[in-house]
Amino acid sequence: MLSDIEECVLERIMLGDKNSRKIAKCCGITELTLNVLVERLVEKGYLDWEMNPTEKAYRELKWVNGVYPVEYYVDTKKFWKMALEIAAVVMFFVMISIALWWVQVWS
């Protein structure tokens, strides 16, 4: 099982970051701590010594086709469809409110 910091480091490496300073900054750790974590990830079989993720890393972090993690995957077509449907419903209620207001004003 990976700790949160180990998972953060592994995800940054899997996303293509190879710069140790950038990885450390993104995960909120020092470069010395990063070196220790990389060694630990190599020992656990998640990375090789060239900081390349292994199949175990992709499998355990549930990455889709080795490209995107499942929890970050968003279907943009469904998102925009839902956003438009919500906007249509809001506009419907706004129009009804305006119509009721006009009826009150002219009565």
pLDDT for res 70: 47
**Sequence ranges of the domains in the chain:** 1-73, 74-107
Amino acid at 91: M
Residue in the structure block whose two tokens are 């199949």:
55
21's enclosing H/E stretch is: helix 20-27
User: Is the separation of the CB atoms in 41 and 9 below 8 Å?
Assistant: yes
Q: Which fold has domain 1-73?
A: Arc Repressor Mutant, subunit A (1.10.10)
Tens digit of pLDDT at every position of the chain (107 positions): 788 899 889 988 888 888 889 999 989 999 999 999 999 999 999 999 888 888 888 887 766 455 555 444 456 777 788 889 999 999 999 999 999 999 998 87
Q: Strand, helix or coil at 53?
A: strand
For the chain, report the end-to-end CA distance as a whole number of angstroms. Answer: 70
Model confidence, pTM: 0.57
pLDDT for res 67: 53
